[in-house]
Amino acid sequence: MKRTLTALLACVVALPALAQDASADWDLAQRRDLLVAYTQFDNGLSIATRCADGGFEAVIGGLPPAGRATTRSLRIAFGEDDLVESRWNVATDDTIAVSELPAPFARELRAGGRLRILVPGGAEGGRNLMYDLVLPASAGSIDQTLTTCGRPLVDPRDAELEALQDDGVPRNLAWAVRPRAEFPNTRYARGFAVITCVSNPDGSLRDCAVETEHPRDGRFGAATLASARRARLQNLAEPGAPVPVGRVLYKTHFLMEGYQTREDEERMRESRRLQREERAARRAASGE
């Protein structure tokens, strides 16, 4: 258990010993522009939220190794809710998963109570592995990490995110012009960013914000935000009609040539397939 927590803090905090606030509900560690709330369990699992230089993250540590994968699927349920599949990113330590939507996840963690995490194929023999945990409630520590990073403690827009399709847009909408980010000037060979925006009636995007990015200093969030200016949505339910105003989400993977894994190659093939479908849809809509 101690090794798992040390690995989690080393990956997420990237600092040695931090001063802990023993009076906090979750353990709280703070130093300069870094604030981390974390809790750990006897089964070796650890969960943390952190604000580092304005960037917010939530992670789960102590999971079965993900190997060479850059993303992994986890099925999560709070209380007695049904398990819901979510996509997580794999950290440098492949036993640590980084949330794509850290602020909504942190807001659910605050209440404490039962938390189930199912790891597909995570047990011996390829069987599913289920963690059934009792979270301590957090009346202050998680709140501090959220507010320090300017994230609200309650956000009714979280319900909109739950209704989004796999490509991050509401049902009956589709990308007319998918966001295409340029690789930033950075020292990293790979990275990612997750962005949320609000759609305009003409299909353009506004009020875009970086939900999370990794590595934090890789400029991947800024590059993904810049791509939002060229993106456009279309109304599939009523072609030619205005696009309903609502929240959308998209994620951009950045990868230098020569660093592809098998998962990256599969993702690129899927991206090319989507591009072909989108071009066909545009031609059909224009009557070509």
Q: What is the pLDDT of residues 93-102, one digit of tens each?
A: 889 999 989 9
Amino acid at the residue 219: R
Reported as type and span, the H/E element at residue 74 is: strand 71-78
Whole-number pLDDT of residue 27: 93
Q: Given a cut of 50, is residue 25 above it in pLDDT?
A: yes
Reported as type and span, the H/E element at residue 188 is: none
Residue whose pair of structure tokens reads 């993977």 in the numeric block: 253
Instruction: Give the whole-angstrom CA distance, residue 173 versus residue 171.
Output: 5
Q: What are the φ/ψ torsions at residue 274 (nearest 5 degrees)?
A: -65, -40
Partnered with residue 35 across adjacent β-strands are 30, 51
Whole-number pLDDT of residue 39: 95
Whether 26 and 37 have beta carbons less than 8 Å apart is answered as: yes
Q: Given a cut of 90, is residue 45 above it in pLDDT?
A: yes
Instruction: Give the whole-angstrom CA distance, residue 242 versus residue 245.
Output: 9
User: Inter-axis angle of helices 102-109 and 141-148, to 10 degrees?
Assistant: 150
| pLDDT class of 92 with cuts at 50, 70, 90 | confident
Whole-number pLDDT of residue 20: 38
Q: Is the bond preceding residue 215 a cis peptide, omega within 30 degrees? A: yes
Mean pLDDT score, 216-235: 92
Whether 88 and 100 have beta carbons less than 8 Å apart is answered as: yes
Provide the percentage of residues in the chain whose pLDDT is more than 90: 51
Three-state SS for 2? helix
**Residue 250 corresponds to which tokens in the numbers above?**
């998209």
Q: What are the φ/ψ torsions at residue 68 (nearest 5 degrees)?
A: -85, -5
Instruction: Give the whole-angstrom CA distance, residue 94 versus residue 66.
Output: 5
Whole-number pLDDT of residue 22: 38
3-state SS of 223-247 is HHHHHCCCCEEEECCCCCCCCCCCE
Three-state SS for 85? strand
Q: In Å, how far are 147, 207, 281 from 150, measured between CA atoms?
A: 5, 15, 39
| pLDDT class of 68 with cuts at 50, 70, 90 | confident
Residues 270-283, buried b or exposed e (16+ Cβ, 10 A)?
eeeeeeeebeebee
Whole-number pLDDT of residue 207: 93
Mean pLDDT score, 12-29: 53
Whole-number pLDDT of residue 282: 56
Who has greater pLDDT, 60 or 12? 60
Whole-number pLDDT of residue 104: 93
Instruction: Give the whole-angstrom CA distance, residue 100 versus residue 10.
Output: 20
Mean pLDDT score, 230-236: 92
Please write the tens of the pLDDT for every residue from 135-170. 999 989 999 999 999 999 998 888 888 778 777 888
Mean pLDDT score, 14-22: 37
Whole-number pLDDT of residue 1: 42
Whole-number pLDDT of residue 283: 62
| pLDDT class of 24 with cuts at 50, 70, 90 | very low
Write the burial class of residue 260 (CB in 10 Å: 0-12 exposed, 13-18 middle, 19+ buried).
middle
Whole-number pLDDT of residue 15: 35
Overall residue count recorded for the chain in this entry: 288
Q: Given a cut of 50, is residue 60 above it in pLDDT?
A: yes
Q: Given a cut of 90, is residue 80 above it in pLDDT?
A: yes
Who has greater pLDDT, 85 or 21? 85
